Structure 1
């Protein structure tokens, strides 16, 4: 299997390269922009599979498909909210949310191997997904949570929440009142329900509210450490793969 990585964040590209090498998958080339990708694809035989970031240094990667016919299957690597990516599951197109997880990578590669013969429909799905991302769905995000406490029900509005976090396979919310409440579903599930203008998933464990951030501190390995107004149980570190998008989000 020949693979091409198109990813503008070079550390993330190198990490994916190492993960694929561990699976004995040969990476032909790592590219970092729309222009560079167009030049390479116009002058080289297309690989079996492309791992493709959506937001590149000089534009959206969909521009590549507007210029040339890509003859490869695509697995997207993205930090976009999962709710907007349902179409990726069609016709052997898959996606991996950043930071990339090794087990999820294996599942995506296995899916490509199983449905490799279906990738001729890639262009149709790319157009559909492009519309979803450029013109987001008019959806209503969750405004409040109802928490059962004994025989009582407590209503918590999203503006009262500092963060969501997972611990020991359970998911909790932490409020401005410095209280923690257990939720029924996974962090991934609640990420889909939250307004991305106000909430950001900084790593695999935490989703934070923009108004809860008290301080942002530079941290080792090009990461950032967040200090919230009341939550102080564990360190909240913005993963290196998400630092760039986090900075765009807070702007």
Structure 2
């Protein structure tokens, strides 16, 4: 993770760098050390954005607060370093946090552990968002349950059953996933010719149907899954 240090005092810059290298030797890369806000802005515009900026509040000529006005849509986090407790103005800027000077090594370590956890969680969410955006081309859907995010490939689904505002998704391996969406909302994410609404509460994946037992009125599906089928269900299957 890339870190930029902005502070008009060299010993403050060096202290941060030494402590980061001591406690997190392989996790943070110091990409620059700037002595003023203008120098920092130039660095950000010319050399790209880091993941985190340590930003001194009180500097000659311009306050560290002004970074937020210059870059209102920043894509990096900011931790203020200051000799005074944070003001309401600073808190309203919504930095990741702040550390009082002189810097306490334990306080810094705790804040950086919090940053690492947040960074990793954010990265996971970004990857999930990317997967969700590409899910149709991958023939994959993501379903959020109470405990997990379930990755379900289209070919794994045998059928879906709706019950008012909920839908149970039955997979060919016999497992079930319940999601808090009605059947219509779930079905809309699937190709209609493959996932066919055959009754008010039932959607079948016809690619997983092997045969229909006329005598016993049962549908045999892949992985030895057997489904009791009403006569209307069979009539509504359009090949």
TM-score, normalising length from structure 1? 0.42
Relative contact order higher in (CA < 8 Å, ≥ 6 apart): 1
Is the radius of gyration larger for structure 1 or structure 2?
2
